[in-house]
A and B are shown apart, each in its own frame.
Chain A
Amino acid sequence: MPASTDVRPAKPVAITPELVAAHGLKPDEYERIIKLIGRTPNLTELGIFSAMWNEHCSYKSSKRWLRTLPTTGPRVICGPGENAGVVDIGDGLAVIFKMESHNHPSYIEPYQGAATGVGGILRDVFTMGARPVAALNALRFGAPEHAKTRHLVAGVVAGVGGYGNSFGVPTVGGEVNFNRGYNGNILVNAFAAGIARTDAIFYSKAEGVGLPVVYLGSKTGRDGIHGASMASAEFDDASHSKRPTVQVGDPFSEKLLLEACLELMASGAVVAIQDMGAAGLTCSAVEMGAKGDLGIELDLDSVPCREPGMTAYEMMLSESQERMLMVLRPEKQQEAEAIFRKWGLDFAVVGRTTDDLRFRVSHRGVVEADLPIKDLGDQAPEYDRPFVRRTAPAPIADLNLDSSDCGEMLIQILNSADMSSRRYVWEQYDHLIQGNTVQRPGGDAAVIRLDGTVKGLAFSLDVTPRYCAADPFEGGKQAVAECWRNLTAVGAEPLAVTDNLNFGNPERPEIMGELVGAIEGISAACKALDFPVVSGNVSLYNETNGRAIPPTPAIGGVGLVESVGATATLAFKAPDEPILLFGAPPSWGSHLGQSVWLREIRGREDGPPPPIDLAHEKKVGDLVRALIRAGLLTAVHDLSDGGLAVGLAEMAMASGIGASVDHLNNEPPAAVFFGEDQGRYLATVTRENFEAVLARAKAADIFAPRIGVTGGADLKLGRSNPISIAKLREAHETWFPAFMAGKS
């Protein structure tokens, strides 16, 4: 041990109410700790409790409601509670996936915050034995005119790309939104999916007493120490020695960790494995022990550290990246160690499993913590917080639908912050690596092929925060339905979802009401659409100065493609093909409350969001999917933001083929072309198959009017002036680069 002035005197720190509060623990929670352990905790123990009982790790405000979600199904192998959800996709394979937020760090330090968000979610997937095959991300930024927005967009996008590109996973899709509600709290939700054999999935539940607990990966440093940033000043004068509290990612180490872990798993050495994410060593050790009804003993003298003089408190709470904890079969120790040495990574036995259900941590011969493991882990506190439901907004009564030209309005919408092309973003992500990308970003859902098969997987992330803000229940339903619809629109069978619930402070009843309403909506939709929730993450307290973000329950869906040769894309395929509108009401569309049109053209954000009829959604989607799989549709696109006009424009821009759409008598064009009625798809069909497709729609009792025909180089909406595809593309493609260059 080199001499170091960093070594802390072994003087016990007084546990004051201020120190307890600085650790985010409420007085009643602290009372509960004293009752549990029968004495005052020391500083390390206080840190461990704060790490395990915080909202992020314990789900204490949301657990009661998360339990109401449907989480099982014939294909579900493992639902919520593990590192990620596991779903059977046939042929002895499983898809393993999850979405997780990294909101706060990304606002403080956008590049590293976003990068480590991607790193964390990739680790969640490969901890379970899966090689990551796809990444997506849902990003929400503040208003474009807000002073920090451009800087945050540049940093977050570069960070997502910097990590995923180097690691070697294709980033195939996602969402980017701008809204002043995120000015002080951006959202970075990262999704990853991987593939594993169903007989080679690894879990975090430890089994067996007296087995070695092994530390793998990078060394532990002082980065990301939870709570320490606030608490340290009050109890430590040597604060100059603290590093900034945002974690720093190293995708190179993560790539080595991936290869080493997969090699290790194939060797049969692993009993249980858990990545060190939030609350690092503490959370991973407690979860492995608590799930397996075992105690864990850790000897911190063996933990590989980046710098000398780290205390037990710092080691237990460090969030240094690219680390794993594993319970090992003792007879395989040499073989396992050789694999990690080959990849140049740390491998250290740091403890063992016990049968006494205690979490015991020692350092330099001193017991630094001795706590009941179950109460830290799966028996952590749970709250039933009071909530108030929001009254649904009244329908818009005073909307004067004048005869403005729909083409002009379409151009304005396509050139807006929220509706413009995201090419600037996804071109910074390597979306082609691994050579299996069948549908690239820009479509309804991304599609990748499964190596060595004709099958594929489809992915989509969705939520419409303005709908959720107006009506959390309908907004929650809509997020699930749109995700299901996007997967259906490429021909995939929707399998299951992961949810990333981003909300404000749950201690405020109106925020809790948003959370409850959204979960109820998600639950209703997932049940009706046979679309279980298999993993997820809750991010609360997204508030600045008492202003909460719009409720943002992001849904990440995975679908199974039976044959990657039989999928649909949104680009028109040929001129002179009839265009059908599946699932339309008699007026084609009419719902303008909370629509993009209302916001962009009229500057209003009011009214109710479009309601979702889940039975209708399912019926229409099942027909569209069957028609795609039968090869009867040439192009398919789901309708969402911006309605029929934006949907048609996207199909035309993707292909360079125009379209001419009929005028509907007695209906206001703005409602027809910009209404956001749900459960609708646009599709084209060859003239040869036209009658057969109409017959199938009629037999299924689905209204599918022929609304126009493809062809030419213009898009003509009813009686509006035609607009050239070149003009549409210019409007669509220019906003983002101009904004980033400071020109808009």
Chain B
Amino acid sequence: MKSAVIVFPGSNRDRDMIAALEKISGHAPATVWHADTDIPPVDLIVLPGGFSYGDYLRSGAIAARAPIMRAVAERAAAGVPVLGVCNGFQILCEAGLLPGMLMRNASLRFVCREVLLRIETTQSIFTDRYRQGEIIRCPVAHGDGNYRVDEATLARLKDEDRVAFRYAGASAGGGNPNGSIDAIAGILNDRRNVLGMMPHPENLIEPLQGGTDGRRLFESVLERIAA
């Protein structure tokens, strides 16, 4: 099984993602530079967190137009799993691979804390190791995580079971940290092979990090593509 992590200038959770993929799969992922135009043959493409191009203009807006993104779109269209976390989610939305966009947090402040996530669908290559409705812990760390989408698309996302995660729980130790519509934390594309999510499962994969709830997301996708 092979994976690739796309690195943009200003990516900064690329190292966390590479470490998580390596620890869980036993294989170091390939790193692909934003200015490249091709991605080696891989079974999983990850767009990591960070502040690509400083998040200037709009989060993810410049990265969505980087040379490498044409290759990402082609692979996604061919069915290769693509995971975008945090800035990666923002880039996928800006690139049109996922609907909607991420606005400033409702508090207008950056937020880094652990939240609770409800697994809304297990019908995806990324979530089938979780139980439907299961509540997991997961950290968030973002300033622009407020998911917004028009009503028609929101209805479609719900109808098609494409909401992957929602923020769960009351405010103490849970709650919606950014004001996202319908408390949405992550969504799938219509083919269900592209997942975008604001929380950071790669930062909760071993006991020293305080828990392992993020680990099964990677185990799900790695096992499925290894099979």
CB-based nearest A residue for B35: A342
Task: Tell me the minimal C-beta distance from B140 to chain A in angstroms.
Answer: 9
Closest Cβ neighbor of A452 among chain B residues: B19
Partner of A344, one of B9, B112, B203: B9
Which of A160-168, A199-207, A467-475 is near enough to bind chain B? A160-168
User: Are A255 and B10 also in contact (CB < 8 A) when A166-B51, A432-B200 are?
Assistant: yes
- Contact between chains at A432 and B203 (CB < 8 Å): yes
Q: A427-B112, A430-B141, A432-B200 are in contact. Are A168 and B208 (CB under 8 A)?
A: no
Is A437 an interface residue, CB under 8 A from the partner? yes
Pairwise interchain contact B9-A165, C-beta atoms closer than 8 A: no
Is there an interface contact between A166 and B209, defined as CB atoms closer than 8 Å?
no
- Given A428-B111, A432-B203, check contact A166 B16 (CB 8 Å): no
Q: Which positions 146-203 of chain B face chain A at CB distance < 8 Å?
A: 200, 202-203
* Complex contact B110–A433 (CB within 8 A): no
Q: Which of A229-253 contact B (CB under 8 A)?
A: 250-253
Return the chain B residue nearest A431 by Cβ.
Answer: B112
Residues of A within 8 A of B54 (CB): 166, 250-253
* B109 and A435 form a contact (CB under 8 A): no
Cβ-defined contact, B110 with A428, below 8 A:
yes
**Contact partner of A430 among B15, B19, B112, B205, CB < 8 A?**
B112
Asked whether A158 and B109 contact (CB < 8 A) given A252-B51, A435-B20, the answer is: yes
Query: Closest chain B residue to A440 by CB distance?
Result: B210
- Inter-chain contact B112/A428, CB cutoff 8 Å: yes
The answer to whether A166 and B19 have CB atoms under 8 Å apart is no
Mask: chain A, 431-449; 1 = CB below 8 Å from B; 0 = not: 1111101101000000001
A168 to B208, CA, bound (A): 20
B29 at the interface (CB under 8 A from A): no
- Chain B residues near A438: list those with CB within 8 A: 208-209
| Residues of chain B within 8 A of A451, CB atoms compared | 19
Given A432-B203, A564-B208, A166–B109 Cβ distance below 8 Å? Answer: no
A735 on interface, CB distance cutoff 8 Å: no
* Assembled-state Cα–Cα distance A255/B50 (Å): 11
Q: Which of A251, A343, A433, A565 contacts B141 (CB 8 A)?
A: A433
Contact of B15 among A158, A167, A429, A434 (CB under 8 A): A434
Chain A residues with CB below 8 A from B19, complex form: 435, 451
Residue numbers in B under 8 Å from A251 (CB-CB)? 51, 54
- Distance from B20 Cβ to chain A, minimum over Cβ atoms (Å): 7
Q: Which of B207-225 contact A (CB under 8 A)?
A: 208-210
Q: Answer whether A449 and B208 are a contact pair too, CB < 8 Å, given A343-B9, A430-B141.
A: yes
**A166 and B55 contact, Cβ closer than 8 Å, known pairs A432-B203, A449-B208:** yes
**Pick from B12, B203, B210: contact of A166, CB under 8 Å:** B12
A654 at the interface (CB under 8 A from B): no
Q: Given A166-B51, A449-B208, verify A252-B9 contact (CB < 8 Å).
A: yes
- The distance in angstroms between the C-alpha atoms of A430 and B142, with both chains bound, is 8
Which residues of the other chain, A, contact B209 by a CB distance below 8 angstroms?
432, 435, 437-438
- Please measure, in the bound complex, the distance between the C-alpha atom of A428 and the C-alpha atom of B141, giving whole angstroms: 9
Which residues from A are CB-within-8-Å of B203?
432-433, 435
A-B contact count (CB 8 A): 81
Chain B's nearest CB lies how many Å from the CB of A439?
9
Q: Do A168 and B12 touch (CB < 8 A)? A: yes
User: What's the minimum C-beta distance from B53 to chain A, rounded to whole angstroms?
Assistant: 7
A143 at the interface (CB under 8 A from B): no
Quick check: is A256 within 8 A (CB to CB) of the other chain? yes
Q: Does B70 contact A (CB under 8 A)?
A: no
Question: A736 to chain B: closest CB distance in Å?
Answer: 12
Known A251-B51, A252-B54; contact A435-B9, beta-carbon cutoff 8 A: no
Q: Is the CB of A429 within 8 A of B53?
A: no
Given A165-B141, A432-B139; A256-B110 close (CB under 8 Å) = no
Provide the bound-state CA to CA distance between A440 and B204, in Å.
Answer: 13
List residues of chain B with CB within 8 A of the CB of A564. 208
Instruction: Report the minimum CB–CB distance from A172 to chain B (whole Å).
Output: 11
B131 at the interface (CB under 8 A from A): no
In the complex, what distance in Å separates the CA atom of A636 from the CA atom of B205?
26
- The interface residues of chain B lying within 8 Å CB-to-CB of A428 are 109-112
Whether the pair B56, A252 counts as a contact (CB closer than 8 A) is yes
Most buried by B among A158, A255, A564: A255
Interface residues of A in 402-431 (CB under 8 A from B): 426-431
Indicate if the CB atoms of A434 and B110 lie closer than 8 Å.
no
Q: Which of B12, B50, B54, B112 counts the most chain A CB atoms within 10 A?
A: B112
Contact between A167 and B12 (Cβ–Cβ < 8 Å)? Answer: yes
B interface footprint on A52-94 (CB within 8 Å = 1, 0 otherwise): 0000000000000000000000000000000000000000000
Residue B113 at the chain A interface, CB threshold 8 Å: yes
Give the docked Cα–Cα distance between A25 and B168 (Å): 61
Chain B 41-63, CB-CB to A under 8 Å as 1, else 0, gives 00000000011011110000000
Determine whether the beta carbon of A252 is less than 8 Å from that of B112.
no
Chain A residues whose CB sits within 8 angstroms of the CB of B111 once the complex forms: 427-428
> Is B13's CB within 8 Å of the partner chain A?
yes
- A162-B110 in contact (CB<8A): yes
Report chain B residues within 8 Å CB of A253: 54
Residues of A within 8 A of B16 (CB): 433-435
Task: Report the minimal beta-carbon distance from A125 to chain B, rounded to whole angstroms.
Answer: 16
Q: Mark A141-165, 1 if CB is under 8 A from B, else 0.
A: 0000000000000000010011001
Q: Is B143 an interface residue (CB 8 A)?
A: yes
Shortest distance from the beta carbon of B13 to any chain A beta carbon, whole Å: 6
- Pick the most buried of A166, A426, A433: most chain B CB atoms within 10 A of its CB: A433
- Inter-chain CA distance A167–B139, complex, in Å, is 19
- Assembly CA distance A437 to B210 (angstroms): 9
Is the Cβ of B53 less than 8 Å from the Cβ of A252?
yes
A427 contact set on B, CB distance < 8 A = 109, 111-113
A343: chain B residues at CB < 8 Å are 9
Can you spell out 27 A-B residue pairs with CB atoms less than 8 angstroms apart? A161-B110, A165-B51, A165-B112, A166-B10, A166-B54, A166-B55, A168-B12, A251-B51, A252-B10, A252-B51, A252-B53, A255-B51, A427-B112, A427-B113, A428-B112, A429-B110, A429-B112, A430-B112, A432-B139, A432-B141, A432-B209, A433-B203, A434-B15, A435-B203, A435-B205, A435-B209, A451-B19
Residues on A lying within 8 angstroms of B by beta carbon are 158, 161-162, 165-168, 250-253, 255-256, 343-344, 426-435, 437-438, 440, 449, 451, 564-565
Give 17 A-B pairs besides A251-B51, A434-B15 with Cβ atoms closer than 8 angstroms. A161-B110, A162-B110, A165-B51, A165-B112, A166-B12, A427-B111, A427-B112, A429-B110, A430-B110, A430-B141, A432-B112, A433-B12, A433-B203, A435-B202, A435-B209, A449-B208, A451-B19
3 smallest A-B Cβ distances: which pairs? A168-B12, A252-B54, A166-B51
